[in-house]
């Protein structure tokens, strides 16, 4: 490996460890399989419908089949080592749900291509599987639109309709007790508790083999064998006849196997030979594919009766070894290697995935230069790398960074607009923050009487922008908390530069401190990371927050809150999910109790009953 590539890998690892990796992208020439090759654990099967997994790969990523005439087209990267050419798919398919993914190509050159899986077990998956709808999982990766593989389940074990893929040939894939490493990027918001959304090593035939004939990553909340912390989804291993996350017998609970509800999740499984001294032999790791490092869920002995593996050497995606057909999940990329990778290699792979910028609608370019500047990073080989940002939100070279990433469904606090400055993350018509509160730029921020902050002094033409992760497609209800001392205020919402609402009128609520919740509907959502913009159409009102989706708990008027008694309060998030109980008296005491019980600052709904009859809900900002 040359000095430039060594330098790139060193800095890639540095960026992810220091938490600034989101500002940098992997240069062409460094893909996950390049990293594995440099560590002497080469990829033997590599799949992605989203990007090339080698820095110099320009071959086929996947094939789409047009339903109307059965014609097919191979989809390649936009450039060597780059994102998939989704525009080529869109042009060929020319209509929603008009194509399926017929082949997912093996990028290693070994020919271990994935195609529609045949029927298997008469009990658990007797029908042939179907191909994934090609445009059902749109995603952005470093500003480029692409499509993942959307695995939908069968409605029963023998009903058919399950999306699933399997290899029909095998070259280079581990068999028997040979060591291997497997990872995939999946989705922690789309899963279920059934069996089995798998990716990895399995028998070549769709049958339930002996213990250890599979060595595949399972992702979901299935609790038939082992379980993890919380409600899932968890990373576990389908070893055939059982899904496990630690040693011992089935039905164990591994508290280190944390739930990973992120839109993009890195899941990793490493299998060493029995008796090997280089690690494992059974290792599970995982983490957020957009930031941070991997967490080790298990590193030790295999479960009882699985000490020696009997890997089949085939590959499955979306199904169990016997074609078990009632699980669901999303798949973006994944590989199988020859050999048990080192911890340093694991970390470099995670850094590469984070730097790929899943879900990001802006493009960050890592360019090389011979000139040093204050915004550049200099490596030990004297090559200088600087970052720039391209995207619909701004033509400026200043990076736009999320102040607090929000979710759809979920709630956006209006004062938590992105960092970036005038013309990048916001536009304000006057200099200075009129309220002199919370933020130090030119956006005008005021307080609300129940605690927290609001956008105020809003003038037509102003806007603020927010990084959001949507897990919803199509239309969705929303609610906005607003206040106005007069008539005529209005705003609309945009997603990635396109309107998703009409102009929304703000009523006269009686004063700028009296808030009212108004309702509306957004359209055109797709599951991915986006830039949401609040655009002011007519002047003079306040916006406290916008909630996407209907909460199960209604939000009552704070003016009904009257108590000095110490009592127990039920606590919910703004999506209506019950979180627990706190004991407190007045409003400030509740805020203090929330901070102690829930260290993550946020907005909560607190419910209590007056004299056992009237239920009241209070919105509390714990910041």
| pLDDT tens readout for residues 391-448 | 433 333 345 676 776 888 888 999 989 888 888 889 999 899 998 888 888 999 998 8
Assigned token pair, 76 = 């390649």
Closest CA to 195 of 226, 168, 230, 169: 226
CB 128 within 8 A of CB 163: no
Query: For position 559, what pLDDT does the model report?
Result: 35
Query: For position 181, what pLDDT does the model report?
Result: 98
pLDDT in tens, 548-582: 985 433 333 333 344 445 667 777 766 556 677 77
Query: For position 570, what pLDDT does the model report?
Result: 73
Domains (range + CATH), the chain: 32-66+76-355 (2.60.120.200), 406-548 (2.60.120.260), 558-621 (no CATH)
Query: For position 597, what pLDDT does the model report?
Result: 79
The residue with tokens 């607090």 is 404
CB 329 within 8 A of CB 220: yes
Query: For position 450, what pLDDT does the model report?
Result: 64
What string of DSSP letters covers 25-86? -PPTT--HHHHHHHTT--EEEEEESSB-SSTT--S--EEEEETTT--EEEE-BSSTTSBB-H
CB 107 within 8 A of CB 96: no
Using CA atoms, how far apart are residues 462 and 302, in angstroms rounded to an integer? Answer: 59
Look up the pTM and report it. Answer: 0.62
Give the containing element (helix H, strand E) for 592: helix 587-597
Name residues of the chain where pLDDT drops below 50: 1-28, 367-398, 551-564, 610-615
What does each C-alpha distance from 184 to 30, 117, 180, 268, 423 come to in angstroms? 17, 19, 14, 7, 38
Query: For position 443, what pLDDT does the model report?
Result: 95
Query: For position 345, what pLDDT does the model report?
Result: 95
Catalytic residues: 240, 322
Query: For position 583, what pLDDT does the model report?
Result: 78
């Amino acid at each position: 490996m040359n000095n430039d590539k060594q330098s790139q890998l060193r800095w890639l690892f540095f960026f992810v460890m220091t938490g600034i990796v989101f500002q940098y992208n992997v240069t062409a020439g460094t893909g996950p399989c390049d990293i594995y090759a440099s560590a002497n654990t080469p990829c033997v099967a590599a799949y992605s419908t989203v990007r090339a997994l080698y820095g110099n790969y320009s071959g086929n990523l996947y094939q789409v089949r047009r339903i109307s005439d059965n014609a097919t087209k191979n989809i390649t990267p936009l450039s060597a080592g780059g994102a998939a050419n989704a525009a080529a798919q869109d042009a060929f398919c020319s209509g929603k749900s008009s194509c399926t993914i017929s082949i997912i190509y093996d990028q290693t050159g070994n020919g271990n291509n994935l195609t529609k899986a045949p029927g298997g077990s008469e009990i658990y998956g007797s029908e042939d599987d179907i191909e994934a709808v090609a445009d059902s999982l749109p995603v952005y990766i470093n500003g480029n639109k692409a499509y993942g593989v959307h695995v939908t389940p069968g409605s029963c074990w023998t009903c058919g309709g399950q999306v699933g893929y399997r290899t029909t040939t095998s070259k280079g894939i581990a068999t028997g007790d040979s060591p291997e490493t497997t990872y995939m990027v999946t989705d922690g918001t789309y899963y279920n508790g059934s069996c089995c959304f798998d990716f990895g090593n399995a028998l070549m035939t769709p049958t339930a083999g002996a213990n250890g004939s599979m060595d595949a990553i399972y992702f979901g909340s299935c609790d038939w064998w082992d379980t993890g912390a919380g409600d899932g989804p968890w990373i576990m291993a389908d070893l055939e006849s059982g899904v496990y996350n630690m040693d011992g017998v089935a039905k164990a609970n591994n508290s280190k196997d944390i739930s990973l509800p992120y839109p993009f999740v890195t899941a990793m499984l490493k299998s060493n030979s029995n008796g090997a001294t280089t690690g494992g032999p059974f290792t599970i790791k995982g983490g957020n594919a957009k930031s941070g490092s991997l967490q080790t869920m298990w590193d030790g002995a295999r479960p009882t009766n699985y000490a020696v593996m009997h890997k089949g050497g085939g590959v499955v995606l979306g199904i169990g070894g016997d074609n078990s057909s009632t699980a669901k999940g999303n798949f973006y990329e994944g590989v199988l290697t020859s050999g048990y990778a080192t911890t340093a290699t694991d970390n470099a792979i995670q850094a590469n995935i984070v730097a790929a910028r899943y879900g990001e609608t802006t493009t960050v370019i890592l360019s090389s230069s011979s000139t040093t500047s204050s915004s550049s990073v200099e490596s030990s080989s004297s090559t200088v790398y600087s970052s720039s940002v391209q995207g619909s939100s701004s033509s400026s070279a200043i990076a736009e960074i999320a102040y607090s990433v929000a979710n759809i469904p979920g709630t956006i606090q209006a004062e938590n607009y992105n960092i970036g400055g005038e013309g990048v993350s916001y536009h304000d018509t006057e200099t200075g923050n009129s309220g002199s509160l919370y933020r130090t730029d030119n956006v005008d921020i005021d307080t609300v009487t129940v605690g927290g902050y609001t956008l105020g002094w809003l003038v037509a033409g102003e806007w603020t922008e927010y990084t959001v992760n949507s897990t919803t497609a199509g239309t969705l209800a929303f609610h906005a908390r607003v206040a106005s001392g007069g008539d005529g205020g209005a705003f609309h919402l945009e997603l990635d530069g396109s309107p998703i609402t009409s102009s929304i009128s703000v009523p006269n609520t009686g004063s700028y401190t009296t808030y009212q919740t108004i309702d509306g509907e957004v359209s055109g959502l797709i599951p991915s990371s986006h830039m949401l913009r609040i655009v002011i159409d007519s002047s003079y009102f306040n916006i406290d927050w916008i909630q996407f989706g209907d909460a199960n708990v209604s939000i009552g008027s704070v003016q009904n809150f009257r108590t000095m008694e110490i009592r127990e309060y039920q606590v919910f998030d703004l999506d209506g999910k019950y979180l627990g109980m706190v004991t407190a008296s007045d409003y400030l005491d509740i805020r203090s109790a929330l901070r102690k019980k829930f260290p993550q600052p946020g907005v909560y709904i607190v419910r209590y009953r007056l004299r056992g009859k009237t239920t009241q809900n209070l919105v509390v900002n714990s910041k």
